[in-house]
Amino acid sequence: MKYTIILEKEKEGGYSAQCLELPGAISQGESKEETIENIKVAIELILETLDQEAKKLSKTTEISKVELSV
């Protein structure tokens, strides 16, 4: 999947980046290359967290269905 990244040069030096599709994916770095690598890691971590949360909800839903059918 492709994500849209906004890369900005900071006044204090270095760069910051944020992913438009994943509001919590924000990172920074000293160079453009470092910032891009850092935002990739941030995106991966958020996607892993969302996947884990979805699995938890899925398990909860399955348990609830069993309880409702009793």
Q: Which two tokens stand for residue 60?
A: 């909860």
58: phi > 0 → left, psi -120 to 50 → alpha, else beta; which? alpha
pTM confidence score:
0.77
Q: Measure Cα distances from 62 to 44, 46, 58, 68 in Å.
A: 27, 24, 6, 10
Low-confidence ranges of the chain (pLDDT < 70): 60-70
> Using CA atoms, how far apart are residues 11 and 30, in angstroms rounded to an integer?
12
Residue 53's pLDDT is what? 87
